[in-house]
Amino acid sequence: MQLIEHHPILQYQHGKKVKFIFDGQEMEGFEGEPIAAALHANGVRILSYTEKYKRPRGFFCAIGKCSSCFVVVNGIPNVRSCITPLEEGMVIETQRGHGTFHKEVQDGEH
Amino acid sequence: MNTDLLVIGGGPAGLCAALEASSFGCKVVIVDESLSLGGQLIKQTHKFFGSSKEFAGTRGIEIARLLTQEIMNKKDNIEVFLNTTAVGYYADEKTVTCMKSEQDFFSVNPKKIVIATGALEKLLPFVGNDLPGVYGAGAVQTLMNVYGVVPGKRVLMIGAGNIGLIVTYQLLQAGVDVAGIVEYAPRIGGYWVHAAKIRRLGVPIYLRHTIKKALGSSWVEGAIIQAVNEKGEWYGEEKRIDCDVICLAVGLSPTCELLWQAGCEMNYVPELSGYVPKRDETMRTTHPDIWVAGDASGIEEASSAMIEGKIAGLSVAHSLGRVDDSSFKNKLGEYWQELDLLRGGETAAKIRNGVKKVLVKSSEDSSMNIQYCAQSKSQVQVIQDQDFCSGVLPEKMVESITPPLELWSRKKGGLVVIECPQSIPCDPCHTSCPTGAILPFKNINDLPKIDYSKCSGCALCVASCPGLACFVIDLTEDEKAAIKLPYEMFPRPNIGEEVECLNRKGEVVAIGKVIRVQEPRKDKTVVVHVTVPKELAMQIRAIRVMKHG
Ligand SMILES: Cc1cc2nc3c(=O)[nH]c(=O)nc-3n(C[C@H](O)[C@H](O)[C@H](O)COP(=O)(O)OP(=O)(O)OC[C@H]3O[C@@H](n4cnc5c(N)ncnc54)[C@H](O)[C@@H]3O)c2cc1C
Ligand code: SF4
Ligand code: SF4
Ligand code: FES
């Protein structure tokens, strides 16, 4: 992971290390930290492709206000990855277009 | 859920509103969509300006910690929901709907609401501005200062306001290379001392330049910048900058969706950076149950956001009958005095004008001793010099900061040299000086004045100045001068080590030797004592540790 190792002012307190899947690939991140931060630390900068022109999108504001960071999390599209905490075993996918609900999510408890 | 007060947004404004209202016995609920309390403060590693009364000289992260601690101590009265966004206001039912972690909805029925939702980064139009790697300055800060993730290898900063200047400095602290800062205006917009800090570390500022294009197809691989003339037309050669992050620090605009939804009367006020609600002197909007505070009411500073929060909290408690009229008036008057002090200086003229446009006086009660947005007397000097406009003290101004030579040349321990030529609301140099050599400030916006005969050379001001603008120079040795300068980078130099000595533009002009390293305030700003050739004593203003090992 691309983490800052030494800082003159800050001491980082990371949460528990957990594994998650991004587009079929296993990655590591810290529990409770935003999904977008975990992905960036793993070198992932493209989070979605736009509907019409298929332009790549990354995050922009990182405080939940611009919707530039949508990904699909456990089948649920349009999740703001910059303010959604990472959990063990999450299955995250690049979002393409406006996103559709999988059948099982619609019928499930969500 | 029922409550006396719902505070939307847990930044400095919201937290202060909650604390103030709960101190009068109000039940408070705070919702914040991020994962911790503190708003913008949790990413501010630098020491804040302002008055020492309002945390000046303290790092933003530390202020966030102190406020959060206070909130936690009031668990009986204040309930906090994190990762929770307030998404809608239903006027008929007086209900606010909230969404926790993008899936669970619940509603709150508060008697009163304080909206302290802060601000959103502005975007700038240029080709490729949607590429991954074009990040808001706040996002870069969050990534590196909150989560310790390296934002990129080489960053191009757009905008030389305070945020652009501070984030540049923070990038350097995190070990990230900054290619330069691009600024459209002919001078930096942020505090001069912030610019000086990064100039002396070698980061160029391109004044009267702007970004034309982000290069790359999947993510940022570079940028094209070009100069603009007075009419705003392109001129000169295009310049390619290699970078993998383009960081936008071109301003913030108030987050005001909920205020619109609730039908508050809104005005577009450029001085406050966007649409803001009309409010009276208690921060109450035109909606009788809704108050506003902090950046949501106009982009300003954490120091003023905190006072506005207190005013809103106080007024909510008053409207619920928890504070009697006379203590309400007294406290309100006190808070306004503090606001006026902060807004008194040259740099706050914009804010004063903006606030005047949206402030509606709710009462003509003359027993209320409130001065609205008074202007203090401070010398406004507009200096046109190119270097000065980008944070470098020009040669011709050096004399004005030089201590009297006959005293200086024999003063063991050295004398203070202060490079703080712009009036800003800040006073820790004075409050930290144990000998009274830095004279009391009549107004927080005064420039520091020095009585050299009292200076002991102790360098406490060097360690305390948030602008890193104080230095102590000892000329009593024969060939060498000893400079005590502030240092906040990694790694710390060792005693006896040779270091590069940089001038105000970041050029290496000598190799110096470290003779002492102190941390007087135990707050991670160290004072490095370094010996340098005597003739360069008034040029060298920073050091760089050469690669260890
Ligand atoms: C780089 C930088 C340097 C700065 N330096 C200084 C300085 O030296 N001195 C100084 O005084 N000030 C400084 N500031 C300014 C200061 O940080 C801000 O003015 C201050 O944080 C504003 O406080 P606030 O409470 O209004 O908003 P914020 O701190 O932005 O907090 C708003 C909060 O509201 C939450 N929120 C927003 N919308 C919703 C919603 N719908 N539902 C739930 N929650 C929501 C957000 O998650 C956030 O936590 C600096 C700012 C930056 C970016
Ligand atoms: S060096 Fe010490 S005595 Fe001199 S101005 Fe600074 S704090 Fe005051
Ligand atoms: S010299 Fe004084 S007024 Fe200037 S930045 Fe430093 S502490 Fe503030
Ligand atoms: S990056 Fe803006 S909402 Fe996530």
- What lies within 8 Å, CB to CB, of B99 at 6+ separation is B84, B85, B87, B105
Query: Which residue matches tokens 């298929």?
Result: A54
Query: Which residue matches tokens 């197809």?
Result: B217
Q: How far apart are CA B521 and CA B306, in angstroms?
A: 25
Question: Quick one: which of B68, B6, B67 has its CA closest to B320?
Answer: B6
* Phi, psi torsion values for B425, nearest 5 degrees: -75, 95
CB contact under 8 Å between B149 and A37, yes or no, is yes
Instruction: Tell me what percent of the residues of chain B surpass a pLDDT of 70.
Output: 96
CB contact under 8 Å between A45 and B492, yes or no, is no
B498-503, strands of its sheet edge to edge = B415-418, B470-474, B480-487, B526-533, B508-518, B498-503, B540-545
CB contact under 8 Å between B147 and A55, yes or no, is no
Residue B376 has pLDDT above 70, yes or no: no
Residue A108 has pLDDT above 60, yes or no: no
pLDDT in tens, B78-131: 999 999 999 999 988 999 999 998 778 999 999 999 999 999 999 999 999 999
What pLDDT does residue B378 have? 47
Q: What is the CATH number of the domain that holds A90?
A: 3.10.20.440
Nearest-CA residue for ligand 1 atom 37 is: B117
Q: For residue B418, which atom of ligand 3 is closest to its CA? A: 1
What pLDDT does residue B384 have? 80
From the list B45, B139, B174, the residue facing A61 with the nearest CB is B139
How far from each other are the two terminal CA atoms of chain B, in whole angstroms? Answer: 61
CA B389 – ligand 2 centroid, Å? 28
Q: For residue A59, which atom of ligand 4 is closest to its CA? A: 1
The reply to whether A34 falls in a domain is yes
CB contact under 8 Å between B120 and A65, yes or no, is yes
Mutate to test the pocket of ligand 4, among A39, A80, A84, A95 (most ligand atoms within 8 A of CB): A80
Give the gap in angstroms from C-alpha A89 to the nearest C-alpha of chain B.
Answer: 17
The answer to whether residues A100 and B117 touch, using CB atoms and an 8 Å cutoff, is no
CA B460 – ligand 2 centroid, Å? 6
- Give the other-Cβ count within 10 Å of B346's Cβ: 17
Using left for φ > 0, alpha for ψ between -120 and 50, and beta otherwise, residue B337 falls in alpha
How far from each other are the two terminal CA atoms of chain A, in whole angstroms? Answer: 32
What is the total count of domains within chain A? 1
The reply to whether A22 falls in a domain is yes
Residue B540 has pLDDT above 90, yes or no: yes
- What lies within 8 Å, CB to CB, of B184 at 6+ separation is B208, B209, B210, B228
Residues of chain A with a CB closer than 8 angstroms to some CB in chain B: 1-4, 6-10, 12, 14, 30, 32-34, 37, 40-41, 45-47, 55-66, 76, 79-80, 82-85, 110
CA B398 – ligand 2 centroid, Å? 19
Cα Rg, chain B, nearest whole Å: 24
Mean pLDDT of B481-509: 97
CB burial string B305-343: b at 16+ within 10 A, e below: bbbbbbbbbbbbbbbbebbeeeebbebbebbbebbbbbb
- What lies within 8 Å, CB to CB, of B59 at 6+ separation is A9, B44, B45, B46, B47, B48, B523
Q: How far apart are CA B205 and CA B227, in angstroms?
A: 12
Residue B52 has pLDDT above 80, yes or no: no
Range of the domain at A98: 17-107
The reply to whether A102 falls in a domain is yes
Amino acid at B391: G
Q: What is the dihedral of CA B174, B179, B182, B187, to 10 degrees?
A: 80
CB contact under 8 Å between B102 and A32, yes or no, is no
Chain A residues with CB under 8 Å of B144 CB are: 4
Mean pLDDT of B143-161: 97
What pLDDT does residue A110 have? 46
Q: Where are the beta strands (DSSP E) in A8-87?
A: 17-22, 25-30, 48-49, 56-57, 70-73, 76-80
The reply to whether A1 falls in a domain is no
The reply to whether A4 falls in a domain is no
**pLDDT, chain B, mean:** 93
Q: Using 50, 70 and 90 to split pLDDT, how confident is the model at A107?
A: low
Question: Quick one: which of A69, A94, A66, A65 has its CA closest to A80?
Answer: A69
What pLDDT does residue B364 have? 57
- What lies within 8 Å, CB to CB, of B129 at 6+ separation is B123, B214
What pLDDT does residue B118 have? 97
Nearest-CA residue for ligand 2 atom 7 is: B433
Give the gap in angstroms from C-alpha B131 to the nearest C-alpha of chain A.
Answer: 6
Mutate to test the pocket of ligand 3, among B46, B378, B420 (most ligand atoms within 8 A of CB): B420
Residue B120 belongs to what H/E stretch? strand B119-121
Structure-block tokens of residue B439:
């004279």
B245 bridge partner residues? B155
The residue that leads in pLDDT, A107 or B174, is B174
Question: Quick one: which of A72, A83, A19 has its CA closest to A47?
Answer: A72
Q: How far apart are CA B297 and CA B312, in angstroms?
A: 12
Q: How far apart are CA B65 and CA B446, in angstroms?
A: 30
CA B243 – ligand 4 centroid, Å? 22
B218 three-state secondary structure = coil
Mean pLDDT of B390-416: 95
Mean pLDDT of A33-55: 96
Give the gap in angstroms from C-alpha B410 to the nearest C-alpha of chain A.
Answer: 35
CA A79 – ligand 4 centroid, Å? 10
Question: Quick one: which of B285, B322, B323, B316 has its CA closest to B5?
Answer: B316
Q: Is the ipTM of this complex over 0.85?
A: yes
- Half-sphere exposure in the Cβ direction for B5 (13 Å, CA): 37
CB contact under 8 Å between B144 and A4, yes or no, is yes
Chain A residues with CB under 8 Å of B174 CB are: 4, 7
pLDDT in tens, A51-93: 999 999 999 999 888 999 999 999 999 999 999 999 999 999 9
Amino acid at B432: S
Q: How far apart are CA B137 and CA B119, in angstroms?
A: 12
Residue B54 has pLDDT above 90, yes or no: no
Tell me which chain A residue has its CA closest to the CA of residue B148.
A4
Q: Using 50, 70 and 90 to split pLDDT, how confident is the model at B421?
A: very high
Structure-block tokens of residue B236:
């000169």
Q: For residue B464, which atom of ligand 3 is closest to its CA? A: 7
> Can you give B319-351 as a three-state secondary structure string?
HCCCCCHHHHHHHHHHHHHHHHHHCCCHHHHHH
CB contact under 8 Å between B34 and A8, yes or no, is no
B461 close to ligand 2 (CB < 6 Angstrom): yes
CB contact under 8 Å between B120 and A3, yes or no, is no
B244 three-state secondary structure = coil
Query: In Å, how far are A74, A105, B244, B267 from A77, measured between CA atoms?
Result: 8, 10, 28, 36
- Domains of chain B as residue ranges with CATH: 2-119+252-365 (3.50.50.60), 123-248 (3.50.50.60), 392-545 (no CATH)
Structure-block tokens of residue B371:
């001065």
Q: Using 50, 70 and 90 to split pLDDT, how confident is the model at B381?
A: low
What pLDDT does residue B348 have? 84
Best to test chain A binding among B34, B99, B147, B217 (most A CBs inside 10 Å): B147
Query: In Å, how far are A81, B12, B173, B488, B525 from B46, measured between CA atoms?
Result: 27, 16, 10, 10, 10
CA A95 – ligand 4 centroid, Å? 14
The reply to whether A103 falls in a domain is yes
Residue B183 has pLDDT above 70, yes or no: yes
A26 bridge partner residues? A21
Q: How far apart are CA B114 and CA B22, in angstroms?
A: 13
What pLDDT does residue A106 have? 54
What pLDDT does residue A83 have? 92
CB contact under 8 Å between A63 and B135, yes or no, is no
Give the gap in angstroms from C-alpha B455 to the nearest C-alpha of chain A.
Answer: 29
Residue B247 has pLDDT above 90, yes or no: yes
Mutate to test the pocket of ligand 1, among B6, B44, B135, B247 (most ligand atoms within 8 A of CB): B44
Tell me which chain B residue has its CA closest to the CA of residue A9.
B524
B463 close to ligand 3 (CB < 6 Angstrom): no
Mean pLDDT of B492-518: 97
Chain B residues with CB under 8 Å of A82 CB are: 139, 142
* Phi, psi torsion values for B105, nearest 5 degrees: -95, 145
Residue B482 has pLDDT above 50, yes or no: yes
CA B181 – ligand 4 centroid, Å? 24
What pLDDT does residue B347 have? 75
Nearest-CA residue for ligand 1 atom 39 is: B117
Mutate to test the pocket of ligand 3, among B422, B429, B455 (most ligand atoms within 8 A of CB): B429
Residue B503 has pLDDT above 80, yes or no: yes
Nearest-CA residue for ligand 1 atom 27 is: B118
pLDDT in tens, B28-50: 999 999 999 999 999 999 888 87
Question: Quick one: which of B381, B132, B91 has its CA closest to B258?
Answer: B91
Residues with CB under 6 A from ligand 4: A 59-62, 64-69, 80, 82
B295 close to ligand 1 (CB < 6 Angstrom): yes
